[in-house]
Amino acid sequence: MAIHLGANQYGKAENRVVRIYRDTPRHQIRDLNVSTALRGRFDAAHTTGEQGDVLPTDTQKNTAFAFAKEKGIGAIEEYALTLGERFLAASPAAEGARIEVEEYAWERIEVDGQGHDHSFVRTGGGVRNTIVNVERGKAYVVSGISDLVVLKSTGSGFHGFLKDEYTTLPETDDRILATSLVARWRYEHTDVEWDKAYDRIKALLLEKFATIHSLALQQTLYGMGSAVLEAHPEVAEIRFSAPNKHHFLVDLSPFGVENPGEVFIAADRPYGLIEATVTRDDASDPGSAWHATPGFC
Amino acid sequence: MAIHLGANQYGKAENRVVRIYRDTPRHQIRDLNVSTALRGRFDAAHTTGEQGDVLPTDTQKNTAFAFAKEKGIGAIEEYALTLGERFLAASPAAEGARIEVEEYAWERIEVDGQGHDHSFVRTGGGVRNTIVNVERGKAYVVSGISDLVVLKSTGSGFHGFLKDEYTTLPETDDRILATSLVARWRYEHTDVEWDKAYDRIKALLLEKFATIHSLALQQTLYGMGSAVLEAHPEVAEIRFSAPNKHHFLVDLSPFGVENPGEVFIAADRPYGLIEATVTRDDASDPGSAWHATPGFC
Amino acid sequence: MAIHLGANQYGKAENRVVRIYRDTPRHQIRDLNVSTALRGRFDAAHTTGEQGDVLPTDTQKNTAFAFAKEKGIGAIEEYALTLGERFLAASPAAEGARIEVEEYAWERIEVDGQGHDHSFVRTGGGVRNTIVNVERGKAYVVSGISDLVVLKSTGSGFHGFLKDEYTTLPETDDRILATSLVARWRYEHTDVEWDKAYDRIKALLLEKFATIHSLALQQTLYGMGSAVLEAHPEVAEIRFSAPNKHHFLVDLSPFGVENPGEVFIAADRPYGLIEATVTRDDASDPGSAWHATPGFC
Amino acid sequence: MAIHLGANQYGKAENRVVRIYRDTPRHQIRDLNVSTALRGRFDAAHTTGEQGDVLPTDTQKNTAFAFAKEKGIGAIEEYALTLGERFLAASPAAEGARIEVEEYAWERIEVDGQGHDHSFVRTGGGVRNTIVNVERGKAYVVSGISDLVVLKSTGSGFHGFLKDEYTTLPETDDRILATSLVARWRYEHTDVEWDKAYDRIKALLLEKFATIHSLALQQTLYGMGSAVLEAHPEVAEIRFSAPNKHHFLVDLSPFGVENPGEVFIAADRPYGLIEATVTRDDASDPGSAWHATPGFC
């Protein structure tokens, strides 16, 4: 029996890179959370402690900040691809680089009906992100959104399910459906108008959540994913992780009060957790696109 | 030497009350986090364990949910006042009731350019809240906003400060100013159009944050507070708690790269913490308005 | 009507000061979270932005770190008192300084049955803290513990409570009682063996939680507080904030399974929240001891 | 082009199961967080919304609580295996079940030098957990620990690393090394004395962290993992995810104070993140053991 190093990865996580564009009085802001990691032939670093092949995580951090100025920050996918290529060039032992970027959205503060030049307020409505894996000669882009909290107050049921001796759930054809959606989609290639694609996919996910009459969260997610694949040939597959944030109808009958779907208690735990992939038959091989990302987002 | 009970309070915290209005196909949603507490002559409950005076926290919870249907939920201030009065009526030993309500905002999901009837997405941009203290014959309302994350990319300096042997901070007349604002304002009375007042005060706070050239976060807060007091005679005082979320300019000179106010690292801890009250000379006595609320929000 | 500045405070929050004592091969570690704030005649800083009286929060931070070496870190109460005095000396406009310190506990890692010289593992069991308020010629010390999670699986009931039309809670004489305790006690003076007092008070709080047959969390807290005041003449008063972390008995009868107090679901929200002060008749005036601390811890 | 369902999984997450053993006056407590999920041929549930094959997440929850009484809770691995088998039996369409359990540790409160019969205090020092994947005829067990916060105040360096034009990090042969360790190890089979194995592996991980002179966190992790594999033939591989929690030496020279490795600031973000697998040559095929678990813990 011999012991050896298996899969490995190292990097700097959660660099909070803030870039201000101030070439004109009307500033722009890009507010990122950047995590980088390298993987490859780093056996010596582990087995003997010899660090000659190791580009320090501190250097990775420096590069992330320097590139924000040197290369600028366009779409987060581009910035991540550029960083990934750089790390492979700088680190001969690396076989792959994984760059994850979250972007926080800001709106201009309104003053006299106009957006202010250099003052901003953080918005909600989901956090855009990307995970880019670069290998020598290959690049994979998985982009997505997290923390997209949505709710429909009707148009959702759950019935006809399998029953056993531990089943107590009543069937319903009218309930609240709510989730804090995580969606990630894999692009077929890197020849994409990233910002436009993101905006359209987000809008489509929301629209389908709204308009699909839900027989289960599974069916809603599948419908949302199918719509994205149909409208976006550049998307190979899409994965969802969606907590079913239960809203329980409160029993007001002890107080002589009816409650026809009007008063709910929002519960924390436990919650349903629905995870699914929707893919197309002719999708390309995912390669390392999902490297070190949990199976379902 | 004798030992006795001092100030005390008990209740049910963080009831997640969700109310759907569905009288027409165009639903409305109110999504609240409700905490209630009673205080008063509850000595026996503490000293002997005799609970005859104690309206259980479970009953307080039931009432919060039942009232969401029986009384409905208009402005959160009204709902809180109604709950507070109820608890005093139901609990003879209580001398005061404190009701704290947070409201989470939702927007309609856009479908074909229209807001959907019953599908919603959670928004950011601050959380509205109120703290109501009701005593027999008196009612105090302190309303506010939290988690209002704002940033200005210029128009902020800090110089001319006191120096001692531990001072290393350089003076600056151009820096990022960012905070996650908590503001609470005390109303003089309860004859207020709550929703309209909230909307206007929030807009005014944002506008002043944007337009005041900041010499320090203290001066910005004071200017924001003064503007509210000037425009809103129904507001007696306003308190702020504002972390100075530091954005440090990154030194890119080791890489031969200039950084004229463009690339920053957003730091987590430590952070400055600026707390201030702005009040008017003729403000009414606050009574128990700030009961059990930290000194500065 | 004139507008003016009311109460105010500013400082640097959450300085994570880690001090290693390494004079011998057997190292010691002190791991602190330090927040400092000054209050007083800082009107100009707010109203005109003139900062001549303002000792920057950055300087406060520098001092906290420098004193960790210059003065060393004994009991956190001593360290906080020393910092507070320093800030008043350095800041003529300040009328008071508030220093809050949390300390994270570490144990030596066991190797061959012995605690290792310089390797440590973080422990749980509550976080020690202190809040010190220093004014010119006066000093107030409030020390405490937070995150002390305790549970008793029997020896707790709740019955005989007030009922109204919203009451549905059944009475019980056997339930789980659990809380995540916050306790803060005010010392009468600063001539205290801080570490010894803390250890004894913590042990006494735990012992009383265990041995008091609970008729309500209120009565348990009162008993715990009384015991501290009886045993510690140096303590003037003690305040508690204790969430009643509900553990609900699960109804297993639909599955033909009895559940005599054996299987519970631990709930998150809502939770009861019980807050109380136990004090002695002849306690000294609290002065600013509780400045800017929520009413009940 | 056709669209179809890919990998999928659904279940109930974070059931907070608390089990009291009270057959004698000396109670015992098991405090768990249980997440269950099924995967398999659930196409109809997604594509048409037909739920006939779906054992609801609510039923999964009921079973987790009922089994806490019916089967009892021994080692969490056993409890998880039993639940997994049950779900496969109850759900013909399921091809696999994934059961994840965390266990929170409690100690008896000490009263008069003795552990109390039914009063407990939560401890720190890491959270034990297991992930069990059951398929028809196969079962995989990955157990581990999270939140194990460790630090060594010397015996750690970092030098000889690769340099490029973005490198500014100085080499060091004496620094603080600290991490919040996540470790997961895969067992070769289920014929294991679970509690004993866990205790020994945890102790060994701590001991090796303490005694290995660290040339990098990578080398420390590899040494910890090798030691586990050498001592535990029942362990096939072990994976680590370890944030390098930076403690930066504070520059006190502006104040004329030396700082020879004594005063540090503990930083939050960014942090290094080191992930590695240590495995043995003759390890069995992992099958679905790591299903839906992030690549490196």
pLDDT, tens digit (0-9, with 9 covering 90-100), for D40-54: 999 999 999 999 999
Mutate to test the interface with B, among A262, A268, A269, A271 (most CBs of B within 10 A): A262
Nearest to A67 by CA among A57, A54, A80: A80
Q: Which residue has the tokens 């300096």?
A: B157
Chain C residues with CB-CB distance to A165 below 8 A: 255
Q: How many CB pairs under 8 A join A and B?
A: 196
Cβ-contact D127, D147 below 8 angstroms: yes
User: Which of B254, B255, B268 shows the shortest C-beta gap to D268?
Assistant: B268
- Do residues D35 and D13 lie in contact, with contact meaning Cβ atoms separated by under 8 Å? yes
- C223 membership: H or E segment, kind and range: helix C217-231
- How close is the nearest chain C Cα to the Cα of A187, in Å? 39
Are the Cβ atoms of D150 and C119 closer than 8 angstroms? Answer: yes
Catalytic residue among C202, C208, C245, C246: C246
Cis omega before residue A270 (within 30°)? Answer: yes
- Is residue D258 within 8 Å of residue D250, measured between CB atoms? no
- Please list, residue by residue across D79-95, b when 16 or more beta carbons sit within 10 angstroms of its beta carbon and e when fewer do: bbbbbbbbbbebbebbe
Which residue among A16, A109, A120 sits closest to B266, beta carbon to beta carbon?
A: A16
- Give catalytic residues of A, as residue numbers: 12, 57, 246
What percent of chain A lies above the pLDDT cut of 90? 97
Contact D123 C123 (CB under 8 A): yes
pTM of the complete model beyond 0.90? yes
Half-sphere exposure (Cβ direction) of D238: Cα atoms closer than 13 Å: 28
Pick the residue of A166, A245, A253 with the most C CBs within 10 A to test the interface with C by mutation: A166
D73 pLDDT band, cuts 50/70/90, is very high
Question: What is the model's pLDDT at position A295?
Answer: 64
pLDDT over 90 at A84, yes or no: yes
CB contact under 8 A, D211 and C29: no
Q: What average pLDDT does range D194-215 have in this prediction? A: 98
Q: What is the DSSP letter of A284?
A: P
* E-strand stretches of chain C: 3-21, 28-40, 94-104, 106-111, 114-122, 127-135, 138-152, 177-187, 235-244, 247-249, 263-266, 271-280
Could you read off the pLDDT of A173-216 as tens digits, one per residue?
Answer: 999 999 999 999 999 999 999 999 999 999 999 999 999 999 99
The pLDDT-based confidence of A1 (bands split at 50, 70, 90) is confident
For residue C154, is pLDDT > 70?
A: yes
Active-site annotation holder among C57, C59, C190, C279:
C57
Q: How far apart are CA D167 and CA C259, in angstroms?
A: 63
CB-based contact B252 A69, cutoff 8 Å: yes
Predicted confidence (pLDDT) at residue D295 exceeds the cutoff of 70: no
Alpha-carbon span B271 to C15, nearest angstrom: 8
Chain C residue nearest residue D123, CA to CA? C124
Helices (H), chain D: 43-47, 57-70, 76-90, 194-211, 217-231
A47 → closest Cβ in D162, D222, D270: D222
Query: pLDDT per residue over C26-47, tens digit each?
Result: 999 999 999 999 999 999 999 9
Average pLDDT on A127-138 reads: 97
pLDDT for residue D1: 74
C69, C123, C257 ranked by CB distance to D259: nearest: C69
Q: Which of B66, B121, B255 sits opposite A150 (nearest CB)?
A: B121
Task: Identify the CA nearest to B13 among candidates D258, D235, C296.
Answer: C296
Residues A134-151 pLDDT 10s: 999 999 999 999 999 999
Q: Which residue has the tokens 């004698």?
A: D24
What integer best gives the mean pLDDT of chain C? 97
User: Is residue C169 within 8 Å of residue B58, measured between CB atoms?
Assistant: yes
Contact A118 B154 (CB under 8 A): yes
In this complex, do D46 and A276 lie within 8 Å of one another by their Cβ atoms? yes
Establish whether B138 is a catalytic residue. no
Nearest-Cα distance to chain B for C111, in Å, is 34
Please report which confidence band the pLDDT of residue B296 belongs to, taking 50, 70 and 90 as the band edges: low
Residues of chain D neighbouring B255 (CB-CB closer than 8 A): 165-166
Per-residue pLDDT, averaged over D3-19, amounts to 97
Q: Give C109 to chain B, closest Cα distance, Å.
A: 28
Q: Mean pLDDT across chain B, nearest whole number?
A: 97
Q: Identify whether C12 is a catalytic site residue.
A: yes
Q: Which of A119, A125, A255 sits opposite B124 (nearest CB)?
A: A125
**What pLDDT was estimated at residue C294?**
74
Beta carbon pairs, B and C, within 8 Å:
286
> How far apart (Å, rounded) are the C-alpha atoms in residues D86 and D38?
11
pLDDT at A296 over 90: no
- Of the pLDDT bands very low, low, confident and very high (cuts 50, 70, 90), residue A162 is very high
Mean pLDDT for A87-101 is 98
Contact flag A166-C255 (C-beta cutoff 8 Å): yes
Q: How confident is the model at residue B295 (pLDDT cuts 50, 70, 90)?
A: low
> In angstroms, rounded to a whole number, what is the distance separating the alpha carbons of residues B146 and C197?
38
Q: What is the secondary structure of D27-76 as a DSSP string? A: -EEEEEEEEEEEEES-HHHHHT---TT---HHHHHHHHHHHHHHT--SSH
Q: Which of B152, B208, B246, B291 is catalytic?
A: B246
Has residue C297 got a pLDDT over 70? Answer: no
Residue A227: list chain B partners with CB under 8 A.
none
Smallest CA–CA distance, residue C165 to chain A, in Å, is 7
Only one residue has tokens 């809380």, namely C179
Q: Across residues B265-294, what is the average pLDDT?
A: 95
Label residue A237 by pLDDT band (50, 70, 90). very high
Residue A294's pLDDT band (boundaries 50, 70, 90)?
Answer: confident
pLDDT for residue C225? 98
Which chain A residues contact residue C268 at CB under 8 A?
A: 268-269
The pLDDT score that the predictor gives to residue D76 is 98
> Tell me, what's the pLDDT at B110?
98
* Amino acid B131: pLDDT: 98
How large is the average pLDDT for residues A219-226?
Answer: 98
DSSP SS3 for C142: strand
Chain D residues whose CB is inside 8 A of the C24 CB are: none
| A254-274: b (≥16 Cβ within 10 Å) or e | ebebebeebbbbbeebbbbbb
pLDDT at C295: 64
Whether pLDDT at C151 is above 80:
yes
Q: What is the pLDDT of residue D296?
A: 63
